[in-house]
Structure 1
Amino acid sequence: MTQQSSESESRKLLKRLRDTLAEESEGQERLDHITSIIAESIRTEVCSIYLFRDADTLELCATEGLKPEAVHQTRMRLGEGLVGRVARLGRNINAADAPATKGFRYMPETGEEIYSSFLGIPIQRLGEKLGVLVVQSKDARTYTDDEVYALEVVAMVLAEMTELGAFVDEGAALSARHQHPVLFRGLVGQEGTAEGHVWLHEPRVVVTNPVAEDSEAEKERLTAAIEKLQVSVDDMLDHAKFADKDQHDVLKTYRMFAHSRGWLRRMSEDIDRGLSAEAAVEKEQSAARTRLQSANDAYISERMHDLDDLSRRLLRILTGQGTETGAEMPPDPILIARDIGPGDLLDYGRSLKGIVLEGGSVGSHAAIVARALAIPLVIHTRDITTEALNGDQILVDGEQGIVHLRPEDNIVSAFRDKIAMQAKAQERYADLRGQPAQALCGTTIALSMNAGLMADLPSLEGSGADGVGLFRTELQFLANRSVPKRGDLARLYARVMDAAKGRPVVFRTLDIGSDKVLPYMKRVEEPNPALGWRAIRVGLDRPGIMRMQLQALIRASAGRPLHVMFPFIAQLDEFRTARDMLDREIAHEQSLGHTLPSKVRVGAMVETPSMAFASAAFYAETDFISIGGNDLKQFFFAADRENERVRRRYDTLNVSFLNIVQMIVDRCAEADVPVSFCGEDAGRPLEALALAAIGLRALSMRPASIGPVKHLIRRVDLAEAHDVIAAARARGDQSVRDPLNAWLTDTLTRGN
């Protein structure tokens, strides 16, 4: 076949498919008709369509040429046989001698033993695997490039029609997509529970017209949309402000893609074959994804994201979907996204009831902002952006990392009962707001809150916190596209102190690096970022930003006490260098005649085991110590807290971990240095009880945890709890959790 004749045949085939899809018929009837049309058009004896029943199982859903009784009976696992390999790899397999091809598996119930040649084409939509289109013939032949191309176009249309539910019926074909309840299991990014309706950060663009009526008109639409896209990208490049050359180069590469003649040519050829402009964009996006996903290279991966983003922008221009004229945000929005930056998340603000991400990490920008806004967050929920639709009912359980999409009534009822119980408990905790966290033995524990935004500060009154034990200063840097100005930071820090109304506020200096990368700072690729160039290491190597931040803090204090804490100190000289930097800035501010803080207290976060064994000079030179429980725990157990396979193996109440915490507490006592514990575990009542029992007299946590922790501490004797822990140590127990739980249950039962 010549190129021109193949194009003509392709257009004829797509027109017949379009007419079939427009008919009033059941899903199974449509599938059967489609396989007949394809087999006739390609002049081959067999055409079969395999679709996914679940994430790992393909099912023969329609065939022309194989035994009819095999339909809905023949199933195979992902990767099994040639069909399974096509689905797993996302690539074509074109074999003249199928039985001799690697991975072949004979399916006797289909009667396929008489067919030699095999061509399998993945049916997929933007990386989402939907099924496999197969043609077979008795002759041992390799299908031509023109035939392969024509079937790829057909597979693209089948993917769109599968997405739109064209093959759904009440019989044996497919069940409707986006209608059934789906349970997603992810990781906890921020605790809490929420019920609401889906709001997609990047709405799915649904292509409702995959087949072109008029190819010339479609190409004109595509050209106009491309020109509009190019203008917007050019404008973005011309008006953007760049912190370094790398950012400028990245956006120039982005513009290069937008102006690519090859990209436009390939999409125009797809339209000539019979696709609509929208379908052509998606076909090339899927093809590019298939090519680039196999490359294990960070640069290539970033380019794939560029192409994805450009394609989505182009589709939104073509369809008008996802613009200001689109759907309205529901009154109880739960945000669904692949990932999201802090700036975008802050723009949504407290209007969100919950957040669910396909990516993210427990220490990511999104997690930090979610904690600051007290919004439940679940991360690593695979494929939720392809399953969820705007307006779907959704339940987010941030306590267990579970998301219920389109839940059944009994799930909704149980979930609402859980929320009601939590609300009732919070009412009980509100009565304790003005009372101290004083145990029955008379010991009082100071309970402070963690914060990072001005929006957090009203929680000081509402939670009954004694102060702000940790104010994360990086959020103001992460949410901006350029370095914040010193004056702006000074005004913000002053407002934080004003809102605290005399309560202490501990400002942690910039803690960036690892998975917290400033948008205007060149990303440093490291094999293990958590152990790499981060926090104080960045501050000391790039002193300009830290000096500016310290100046802002000094000016904000305006005669009030100032508490500054340096993060991730791993050895004494890092603390000394940082403190010397602060002392120099104080002297400089004094020379300028600025008002100095009435008192300056300088502390360090102990997050590495090395500082438990530091020289006595370290403890003597600090004004206070804060144990950073999250990092200390992951480094102590060598268990990455982002890695679900290992992080749950190790318990905070493990005797060995309590021993190192006890060592730090004892060393602080010897040096007469106040010490607190900051982290997720400080806000868990049983863990907080154990920490208080081994000598910690200050804990810092999220505001919502203060009530439950205070409620428990006021009902127990810490000396008795200490004895339980000591007995567990003496017995050689690995963890004190079970004995402490048993003692607590008995104590509270007797108390009631």
Structure 2
Amino acid sequence: MASVKINNNRIWHGIGASSGIAIGQVKITDRSRVAVVETSVERSEIPFELERLKKALERAKAELSSLKQNIAAKRGDEHLQHIDTHLLLLDDTMLIGETSAIIEIESINAEGALKRTLHKLKEFFSGIEDEYLRERSADVETVVERVLRNMVGQKQEPISAIDGKVIVVAHDLSPADILQIDKTKVIGFMTDMGGKTSHSAILARALEIPAVVGMERITGEIEDGATVIIDGATGTVISNPDQETFREYLRRKQHYEYVERELLKLTDLPAVTLDGHSVSLKGNVEFIEEVPSIKRHGAEGIGLYRTEMLFFNRDSLPGEQEQFDAYAAIVREMSPAPVTIRTLDVGGDKILTDLNLGDEMNPALGVRAIRLSLRQQETFKTQLRAILRASALGKVRIFFPMISGVGEVRAAKAIVEEVKAELRAASVPFDEQIEIGVMIEIPSAVIIADLLAKEVDFFSVGTNDLIQYTLAIDRTNEHLSSLYEPLHPAVLRSLKMVVDAAHAAGIDACMCGEMAGDPEYLPILLGLGFDELSMNAVSIPRVKKILRRCTRKEAEDVAAHALTYSTAQDVESYLKSVIAARFSDSFD
């Protein structure tokens, strides 16, 4: 990623991974990839190479286990799931078996074989459409690099040894690295690798450390000890800033921290309009380490717990007990607030080798989500048993993704009833009155929302996919990004149909897509009548601030007016005029 010079400031733009501004000196930490030379070996040397692989794997496991113990002693258990993922990868039969086979068949050294395996896995991940899943390639690479370092005897300075207030610069940082960060010493970081959904980015947000990732070559372009500014919201990095720039970003940093402090004052205040109408604001989570942050920002519960992370980066499916332990930990942590758990939302393009689905021409429209669960009923029942058992520990709701018709809902509910009967027979406690909902993210579900509403206890609109499917836009395609329009009249009309159908049936209309967390959309969503909005942690107080400054009647007028426009651009212009007139000082 090339830098530019503006007024003698050298500026880069990466991916803003974790909001906040940090100003300090660069500390370059060697996290570069191990240079591997592939060499041929004699047949007689193959057992030696296999033993080298085995010992390097064992040393890597020992290192991670020791780190896990040290981190648990300092931080507790809530942040260790990422390290457990890496420990599981070190036992992965595909990783070990493939590498061993290459050594034996190709007669090459262990590090060369391991690099070949990594290349195959990276190729596999690069073909996955979902950004979150593509980023799991980084986990495999991190684990392989740890094994390679053990093979060649290359040591790394631990993050915990860093002294002084610095901004760490590295090729990449592993979850173990992030969890060793002392925030009094490391005030931010930036990396060559990574994306917004990489584990390093997720942990940075959970721990509230300003971070910029995906900078490609920053480790080779910035000097150790240089003064640097990083803006984790915009992804901007400025080295050796001039006095004017330094003062400007110092002002921004102070303002950002002031706004954050002020917003956090809203944490314990109710999410209620000026005329007394309440909207439940909840958090979206994937990992238990995100729970403290959503609680700190005032979430009234979890509106979307994505369970997919339990199924990734492995060649065998998680068992009932493993799933129960994960769900139970979050339910206990959130109790008495509710946790809404989405059943498995993956498909044939995901790394779940036990499912044996084969390749699909168009995975986005293929066997995924509820379609997959209904085809793989034993896997579905295992997950449902774990969720239902967790429901005995606190308030839990279940909802099914990618519902396209009533038949799917009835089939899924019938399986839930089978699992309930099995648990009753075994005297296993669960919530007999557990609520069941569906995600509305396909146009067919919108059109028959009135029929679906008779079958379930709540709707949850997944706007990311609903917009994508309604407008036939691949939201990951950079050439079509301008056509991804949340305010498109077709989208707004769809949202109104869903809310109206839910309320006519006496059930709640919820939203858990990105649209829910954008405070600019709050007047329209409130006016349409959504009962619950679920979002990332930092958005909660921002949305609450707008909510507490308007009336429901005012929002209903805004929504009704927005529905009269013919284009997304017209709706956006109107909405901006409303915000400028009523809420301009709330968008700092």
User: What is the DSSP-based 3-state SS (H/G/I as helix, E as strand, rest coil) of the residue aligned with 1:622?
Assistant: coil
Q: Does 2:587 match 1:744?
A: no
Distance, in Å, in 1 between the alignment partners of 2:377 and 2:142 is 37
The equivalent residue for 2:554 is 720
The residue number in structure 1 matching 2:419 is: 585
What is the CA–CA distance in structure 2 between the aligned matches of 1:201 and 1:258, rounded to whole Å? 32
Query: Is residue 709 from structure 1 mapped to residue 543 from structure 2 by the alignment?
Result: yes
Deviations 1:440-485 (A, max 9, x none): 2332211111223332333354222221111222334447785444
Which deviates further from its counterpart, 555-564 or 234-243?
Answer: 234-243
Residue among 626, 640, 662 paired with 2:460: 626
Provide the C-alpha distance between the structure 1 equivalents of 2:500 and 2:229, rounded to a whole number of angstroms. Answer: 45
Q: Does 1:661 align with 2:489?
A: no
- Matches of residues 190-589 of structure 1 in structure 2 within 5 Å? 193-194=21-22, 197=26, 202-203=31-32, 231-235=51-55, 249-255=97-103, 259-260=107-108, 298=123, 321-323=154-156, 328-329=161-162, 334=168, 336-337=170-171, 378=212, 380-384=214-218, 386-387=220-221, 395-404=229-238, 410-478=244-312, 483-513=317-347, 517=351, 526=360, 528-558=362-392, 560-589=394-423
Q: Cα distance, 1:501 vs. partner?
A: 2.8
Conserved? CA contact 2:178–2:204, under 8 Å: no
Distance 2:299 2:141 in 1: 48
Distance of aligned partners of 1:325 and 1:356 in 2 relative to their CA distance in 1, 3 Å threshold: closer
| C-alpha spacing 1:424/1:485, structure 2 compared with 1 (3 Å) | same
- Native 8 Å contact 2:470 2:491 kept in 1: yes
Question: Do residues 183 (structure 1) and 38 (structure 2) align?
Answer: no
- Residue 503 of structure 1: CA displacement? 1.3
2:518 and 2:539 in contact (8 A); partners too: yes
Q: Which deviates more from structure 2 when the two are superposed, residues 488-497 or residues 477-486?
A: 477-486
Q: Structure 1 residues 616 and 745, CA, compared in 2 at 3 Å: closer, same or farther?
A: closer
Q: Deviations over 1:573-603 (max 9, x none)?
A: 3332222222111110000011121521011
Q: How many Å separate the matches in 1 of 2:518 and 2:449? A: 32
1:611 is aligned, of 445, 458, 483, to: 445
Contact 2:298 2:540 in 1 (8 A): yes
Looking at structure 2, the residues matched to 693 and 359 of structure 1 have their Cα atoms a distance apart, in angstroms, of: 42
**Contact 1:561–1:598 (8 Å) recurs in 2:** no
Identify if the C-alpha distance between structure 1 residues 336 and 689 changes in structure 2 by more than 3 Å, giving closer, same or farther: farther
Identify the match of residue 517 of structure 2 among 675, 680, 683: 683
- Report the counterpart of residue 699 of structure 1 in structure 2: 533
Q: Which amino acid aligns with 1:600?
A: I
Supply the AA of the counterpart residue of 1:438: V
Structure with bigger gyration radius = 1
Provide the C-alpha distance between the structure 1 equivalents of 2:314 and 2:179, rounded to a whole number of angstroms: 12
Distance in 1, matches of 2:105 and 2:29, equals: 26
Q: 1:658 to 1:549 in 2, by over 3 A?
A: same
Decide whether aligned partners of structure 1 residues 724 and 488 sit closer, same or farther in structure 2, where only a CA change above 3 A counts.
Answer: closer
Secondary structure (helix, strand or coil) at the match of 1:599 reads: coil
Distance, in Å, in 2 between the alignment partners of 1:599 and 1:585 is 14
For residues 545-571 of structure 1, what are the alpha-carbon distances to aligned partners after superposition, in whole Å with 9 as ceiling and x for unaligned? 332222122222226443111222233
1:625 positional shift: 1.0
Q: Which structure 2 segments of 5+ residues have no match? A: 40-44, 62-87, 128-137
* Cα separation, 2, equivalents of 1:347 and 1:388: 24
Query: Deviation per CA, 1:694-728, whole angstroms, max 9, x where unpaired?
Result: 22121111122111111111112342243244334
Distance 2:194 2:356 in 1: 20
Distance 1:327 1:667, change over 3 A: closer
Q: Hey, what's the Cα distance between the residues in 2 that align with 1:677 and 1:512? A: 20
Distance 1:642 1:732, change over 3 A: closer
Q: Unaligned regions of 5+ residues in structure 1, if any?
A: 1-53, 57-179, 208-218, 220-224, 265-284
Structure 1 residues 717 and 544: alpha-carbon distance in aligned structure 2, compared to 1, 3 A threshold: same
Distance 2:188 2:353 in 1: 24
Superposed displacement of residue 506, structure 1: 0.7
Look up the equivalent residue of 1:232 and give its one-letter code. Answer: R
Contact 1:558/1:597 (8 A) holds in 2:
yes
For the 8 Å contact 2:99–2:110, the answer to whether it is kept is: no
Partner-residue secondary structure (3-state), 2:233: coil
Helix, strand or coil at the partner of 1:568: coil
Native 8 Å contact 1:203 1:322 kept in 2: no
Distance verdict in 2 for CA 1:334–1:587, change over 3 Å: farther
| Secondary structure in 2 matching 1:703 | coil
**Identity level (%):** 28
2:99 maps to amino acid: L
How far residue 686 of structure 1 moved from its aligned partner, in angstroms, is: 0.9
CA gap of 1:687–1:594, structure 2 versus 1, over 3 A, is same
1:637 to 468, 471, 484: 471
Aligned residues: 534
Task: Output the CA distance in 2 between the equivalents of 1:308 and 1:596.
Answer: 39
Q: Check 1:639–1:186 CA distance in 2 against 1; reply closer, same or farther (3 A cut).
A: farther
Over aligned residues, Cα RMSD in angstroms?
5.0
Change (3 A) 1:417 1:731: same
TM-score (norm 2): 0.73
Q: Distance in 2 between matches of 1:298 and 1:662?
A: 42
Name the aligned partner's letter for residue 699 of structure 1.
Answer: L
Determine the C-alpha separation between the residues in 1 that align with 2:316 and 2:354.
6
What CA distance in whole angstroms lies between the structure 2 residues aligned with 1:485 and 1:456?
23
Q: Secondary structure at the match of 1:596?
A: coil
Q: 414-423 or 255-264: which moved more? A: 255-264
Which deviates the most, 698-707 or 185-194? 185-194
2:20–2:253 contact (8 Å) kept in structure 1: no
TM-score by length of 1: 0.59
Deviates more, 1:470-479 or 1:622-631: 470-479
Shift in CA distance, 538/416, structure 1 to aligned 2, threshold 3 Å: farther
Q: Summarize the Cα distance change of 1:550–1:317 in structure 2 as closer, same or farther, 3 Å threshold.
A: closer
Return the offset for 1:606: 1.5
- 1:133-174 deviation digits (Å, cap 9, x = unpaired): xxxxxxxxxxxxxxxxxxxxxxxxxxxxxxxxxxxxxxxxxx
Contact 2:281–2:299 at 8 Å: present in 1 too?
Answer: yes
- Paired letter, 1:661: L
